[in-house]
Chains A and B, each alone.
Chain A
Amino acid sequence: MKLNVDGLLVYFPYDYIYPEQFSYMLELKHALDAKGHCLLEMPSGTGKTTTLLSLIVAYMKAHPLDLTKLVYCSRTVPEIEKVMEELRKLMNYYEKEMGMEQNILGLALSSRKNLCIHPSVSKEREGKVVDGRCYGLTASFVRARHAGDDAVPVCNFYEGFDAHGKEFPLPPGVYNLDDLKEYGQAKGWCPYFLARYTITHANIVVYSYHYLLDPKIAEVVSKEISKTSVVVFDEAHNIDNVCIDSMSVKITKRLLDKCSNSIQILETTISNMKENDNRRLEKEYQRLVEGLRDANIARETDMALVNPVLPSEILEEAVPGTIRTAEHFVAFLKRVVEYIKTRLRVQHVVQESPAGFLRDIHIKVCIDRKPLRFTAERLSSLIRTLEISDLTDFSPLVTVSHFATLVSTYTKGFTIIIEPFEDRAPTVSNPILYFSCLDSSIAIKPVFNRFQTVVITSGTLSPLDMYPKILDFHPVIMTSFTMTLARPCILPMIVSKGNDQVAMSSRYETREDTAVIRNYGNLLVEVAAAVPDGIVCFFTSYLYLETIVSSWYDQGIIDQLQRHKLLFIETQDAAETSLALINYIKACDNGRGAVLLSVARGKVSEGIDFDHHLGRAVLMFGIPYVYTQSRILRARLEYLRDQFQIRENDFLTFDAMRHAAQCLGRCMRGKTDYGIMILADKRFSRADKRSKLPKWIQEHLKDTNCNLSTEECVQISKRWLRQMAQPFSREDQLGISLLTLEQLQSEEMQKKIQQRAQAA
């Protein structure tokens, strides 16, 4: 249908629209008009993606000069594919309505692993191996060698692309990963490089967060994207952690040992080259004297090693003299690695600032800050000169070089922690150096500065005011939308005590208490007896899950549970977990019913949807606080307190509640779906926790349901389940939570939407 959103003609590819989708469009349009950033929360299953796409495409068509490109960042490949499907639907609708081909090019980009069509390389399973082998076939020196000697293998697809691909741009249309591969096969062009080349002039680009947030990748892939773009981060509730991870480095003892090996390889290669072909090394030296930037002539395929520092910070200076010659640089690297090795030989935990580290390295092994800063660039230049085509072995050395560069570039917002052993096993020596980013705004700042509009959206972003603080930006719009429902299809409840009135809580003091564990067990058994099909339970950690399950086993609760449903447990092993998931789905499908015990922040809690019968109830056992004894977390909390005036407790609660909300949201994937959400911890009923739940959950969490015992909870669930099982059709939704065009345009509805906008 065609909508009028505040004066903008929007083509919406469905016959019906949810009221909140319309409100979402309104807010998004305001943000685009204002050329500012925005933060929007809308429950999952209400069609966020299609809403975003249809509004932004309409805006691009209406204002082609103000808005040229949409960059849509998602988390996983399946999510990227979903976005492409929605986009295809939208474009088909445009074509049908306007009766002509649309001049819009949309494409998805993923790693080489997902796009490679080379007959042997594409068989590799691991992403790093594919990257390495691809580099070995497409690096500029390999191709140069190939020109002289036909025996040197190259990738025909890349050659094909290089020869013709750039003259003929991709015709307009929507290309998902498979389409790109097909197109590449047909033309004999490499889909990966075709996609990367096309990014610069495509209208809509869909790819993973990392292509924009991780400076190591962003520099190569997303450099050319113009300022007049809108960037969308979908499922962005964990965006701060992604930012932090992309800037953090972890160095273990084993990694350092591997580094030593790599350095030896470098040494021998250099001495070989010196004997055979000294000219090249000299040439490189000359180039380095002239300045690093010129040395690095843009060669797209040589991207495997890049500087971890942000584009704006890239140094335009010449490489310092101490590391200009290859031997000197290798000796320098050796010193750095040996120095870190000695640092790892500690008996107690050391925490240090980057400045302290630099001072220490200067005193101990006489390494200045400046050469350290150039380590990453210098290493990539060296590897290029040495024409090493197999890069996979060098990844440990690359990690260390990143560390060296980062530690000497940033003095604020980072910390170094060296732990001689893990907290859990204090007798086993396993020294690790963490170089940890404390400030999530560092990685995302260039994104906010560069693009005119950045949209951060997810199903669970509450409390909204935390994100501008920790990401350090000023949104023009910040709104949380609720879900209009024709029937109350979520039932959130806070269960605070068992039938014996003993309070349930995962507090540290009481978590070992058998009474609490037994009450948790009884709650699960009773819920399992009352709720059909699938139930998903979330625990606060793997450790807690294990202790609880073992004591349930002793108490006979597992036996009782298995009378009603089958039991599956998520483990840290990904293969085991996916097997458990497959069988869980099978058990739900054929009516046996199943319970899945999993962990908040685990794989199940983030990426997997339990729609309809797969998740009729979600139980949250305890509040999923992060492991507060972690030193990295402590350091981050301290930093947040000093720099952003965020109290420790506020941040911890915020973090715990967003994960809890994420877990609860697993069971609710659409308006025809329904599910029970049980929060089994006394502390959830406190105002500071409750008020941090997303608005759409809070709305259904009545005061009467905030302090229930197991028995009351089961009674309420039973009655509610019966009501939900009554026939429910689209007609029941029409006019309330689902609107036709006429209904949307009716005065009454417009008024309601206005009110909602004001309330928000």
Chain B
Amino acid sequence: MADEEETNEYRWESGYEKTWEAIKEDDDGLLESNVAEIVARAKRKRAALKATGAIQLGMMRHLFVVIDASECMFLQDLKPTRFLCVLKLLELFVHEFFDLNPISQLGILTTKVKRCVEVAALAGNQKKHIEALQQMKDTSCEGEPSLQNSLERAMNGLKNMPAHSSREVLVLFGSLTTCDPGDIQKTIKSLKENNIRVSIIGLAAEVRICREIAKRTGGTYNVLLDDHHLKELILNQVQPPAVAGSMEASLVKMGFPGGKTGSGDGASDSAADHAPAYCLCHIENETSCLMGNNSGYNCPQCGSRYCELPVECKQCGLTLVSAPHLARSYHHLFPIKPFIERTEVPEMTHCFACAKPFGELDPNVYECENCKQIVCLDCDLFIRETLHTCPGCASDPITAQMKTN
């Protein structure tokens, strides 16, 4: 991002920033502290929400990300500009998304000049998406966005997806206005009929129609405070949502390409496997990668070769995954049990995980049901969102044994 900042403009040309006010506490102690508290409470709520493991999760997700590319995305309240900041964070999001939802598909749309354009079709190839996002950096932002057009477009793409998958739209909306050709209420209605969940992240302020769309389709609506908050909000969308209503359970056909790590035991494979081949994900590009003998994965159904997993086979449409991918989404199904919130535990003065002494700031501590260890709020969230395993249980040989059994 450094080079962009150089080419962009001088500091004195950018917006008016009162940085000193960000750190200052309010006179009457109302404003900042209060908002901070609300954010902290939201954090706790998030932790509580994640803990509930019994609900069915829509793990096979079809998600359209709609990026607002209207005029207002050139504003510099996010650095370097709203647009670049959002793209950068989306790259991270795409990566995380496929990491945690390996059997899902993603598409990217942009909206500007009252129209909606597809940047990347619904597919399971993260490289392509990231490439598309990087290419977008050079495009311009102009005109007004159209919520209705984008939602209609996304709906058309999602309508025909199988019923057992979760259909979602995520809109990153910077503008405060939308220029629609028709009645958006009808669009909301048909979104609802099609079981499409629309979540919106506003970049400027609360727009009523966005709140309404999110509320009626069962999604979430949030407005950022700053870029850190935006990152948090975007990454919140990585977690698969709980299934709303009835979604039929069905078997999904998947391919597990054989992993070839060594060169010796390839006797059973056909000759085609060993022949040098173009990787199918890059075959259209000029910079196609020629793979060596033993790297890459072959589709068990048609034999096409891919350099990376997970991917949807271009030839036969089979979803190709590897076992570790599935294992990684396993924690969605069996999350660790929620820690019990305690107001005070006199005998423990330090967090078990990070060894930080419990301060006056946050009176609440969290106890694991299994190992009875006490952690602080931050560690609780870290365990829940990143580790997916309790350090207390893991370090205790007996409980660890139990878990593996």
Do A613 and B38 touch (CB < 8 A)? no
- Nearest CB in chain A: distance from B212 CB, A: 9
Do A532 and B208 touch (CB < 8 A)? yes
Given known pairs A711-B16, A725-B206, A726-B225, the reply for A565 and B177 (CB within 8 Å) is: yes
Do A722 and B16 touch (CB < 8 A)? no
- Binary flags per residue of A527-550, CB closer than 8 Å to B gives 1, else 0: 001111100000000000000000
Do A591 and B209 touch (CB < 8 A)? yes
- Binary flags per residue of B172-192, CB closer than 8 Å to A gives 1, else 0: 000011111001110000000
The reply to whether the CB of B35 lies closer than 8 angstroms to some CB of chain A is: yes
Residues of B contacting A721 in the complex (Cβ-Cβ under 8 angstroms): 204-206
- Residue among A486, A531, A589, A722 making CB contact with B225, cutoff 8 Å: A722
Q: Find the B residue at minimum CB distance from A728.
A: B38
Do B30 and A487 touch (CB < 8 A)? yes
The reply to whether the CB of A254 lies closer than 8 angstroms to some CB of chain B is: no
Residues of B contacting A616 in the complex (Cβ-Cβ under 8 angstroms): 205
Do A718 and B77 touch (CB < 8 A)? yes
The reply to whether the CB of B94 lies closer than 8 angstroms to some CB of chain A is: no
Per the CB 8 Å criterion, the residue count for chain A at the interface is 34
Q: Find the A residue at minimum CB distance from B184.
A: A590
Do B183 and A722 touch (CB < 8 A)? no
Instruction: Give the complex CA separation of A362 and B180 in angstroms.
Output: 72
- Binary flags per residue of A509-541, CB closer than 8 Å to B gives 1, else 0: 000000000000000000001111100000000
Do B208 and A530 touch (CB < 8 A)? no
Do A529 and B176 touch (CB < 8 A)? yes
Given known pairs A487-B30, A725-B206, A728-B38, the reply for A592 and B180 (CB within 8 Å) is: yes
The reply to whether the CB of A724 lies closer than 8 angstroms to some CB of chain B is: yes
- Binary flags per residue of B267-292, CB closer than 8 Å to A gives 1, else 0: 00000000000000000000000000
Instruction: Give the complex CA separation of A711 and B13 in angstroms.
Output: 13
Residues of A contacting B223 in the complex (Cβ-Cβ under 8 angstroms): 722, 725-726
Residues of B contacting A590 in the complex (Cβ-Cβ under 8 angstroms): 178, 180, 183-185, 209
Instruction: Give the complex CA separation of A712 and B38 in angstroms.
Output: 26
The reply to whether the CB of A96 lies closer than 8 angstroms to some CB of chain B is: no
Residues of B contacting A725 in the complex (Cβ-Cβ under 8 angstroms): 202, 205-206, 222-223
Do A486 and B208 touch (CB < 8 A)? no
Per the CB 8 Å criterion, the residue count for chain B at the interface is 38
The reply to whether the CB of B207 lies closer than 8 angstroms to some CB of chain A is: yes
The reply to whether the CB of B34 lies closer than 8 angstroms to some CB of chain A is: yes
- Nearest CB in chain B: distance from A391 CB, A: 49
Instruction: Give the complex CA separation of A612 and B205 in angstroms.
Output: 13
The reply to whether the CB of B299 lies closer than 8 angstroms to some CB of chain A is: no
The reply to whether the CB of B2 lies closer than 8 angstroms to some CB of chain A is: no
The reply to whether the CB of A727 lies closer than 8 angstroms to some CB of chain B is: yes
Residues of A contacting B77 in the complex (Cβ-Cβ under 8 angstroms): 718
The reply to whether the CB of B63 lies closer than 8 angstroms to some CB of chain A is: no
Instruction: Give the complex CA separation of A304 and B393 in angstroms.
Output: 89
The reply to whether the CB of A271 lies closer than 8 angstroms to some CB of chain B is: no
The reply to whether the CB of A63 lies closer than 8 angstroms to some CB of chain B is: no
Residues of B contacting A591 in the complex (Cβ-Cβ under 8 angstroms): 147, 177-178, 180, 184, 207-210
- Binary flags per residue of A688-712, CB closer than 8 Å to B gives 1, else 0: 0000000000000010000000011
Do B30 and A592 touch (CB < 8 A)? no
Residues of B contacting A665 in the complex (Cβ-Cβ under 8 angstroms): none
Do B225 and A533 touch (CB < 8 A)? no
Q: Find the B residue at minimum CB distance from A485.
A: B30
Instruction: Give the complex CA separation of A564 and B178 in angstroms.
Output: 9
Q: Find the A residue at minimum CB distance from B42.
A: A727
Do B72 and A563 touch (CB < 8 A)? no
Do B177 and A488 touch (CB < 8 A)? no
Instruction: Give the complex CA separation of A331 and B26 in angstroms.
Output: 77
The reply to whether the CB of B60 lies closer than 8 angstroms to some CB of chain A is: no
Do A723 and B208 touch (CB < 8 A)? no
Residues of B contacting A718 in the complex (Cβ-Cβ under 8 angstroms): 77, 204-205
Residues of A contacting B225 in the complex (Cβ-Cβ under 8 angstroms): 722-723, 726
The reply to whether the CB of A588 lies closer than 8 angstroms to some CB of chain B is: yes
Interface residues of A in 604-622 (CB under 8 A from B): 612-613, 616
Instruction: Give the complex CA separation of A486 and B41 in angstroms.
Output: 15
The reply to whether the CB of B31 lies closer than 8 angstroms to some CB of chain A is: yes
The reply to whether the CB of B307 lies closer than 8 angstroms to some CB of chain A is: no
Instruction: Give the complex CA separation of A387 and B345 in angstroms.
Output: 92
Instruction: Give the complex CA separation of A487 and B27 in angstroms.
Output: 14
Instruction: Give the complex CA separation of A532 and B200 in angstroms.
Output: 15
Residues of A within 8 A of B (CB): 486-488, 529-533, 563-565, 588-593, 612-613, 616, 702, 711-712, 715, 718, 721-728, 732
A-B contact pairs, 9 of them (CB 8 A): A487-B30, A488-B31, A530-B205, A532-B177, A590-B209, A591-B209, A592-B180, A593-B176, A723-B31
For the complex with contacts A487-B30, A529-B176, A712-B16, 4 further pairs of A-B residues with Cβ separation under 8 Å are A487-B35, A715-B17, A722-B224, A725-B205
User: What 3 A-B pairs are tightest by C-beta distance, nearest first?
Assistant: A591-B209, A725-B223, A613-B208
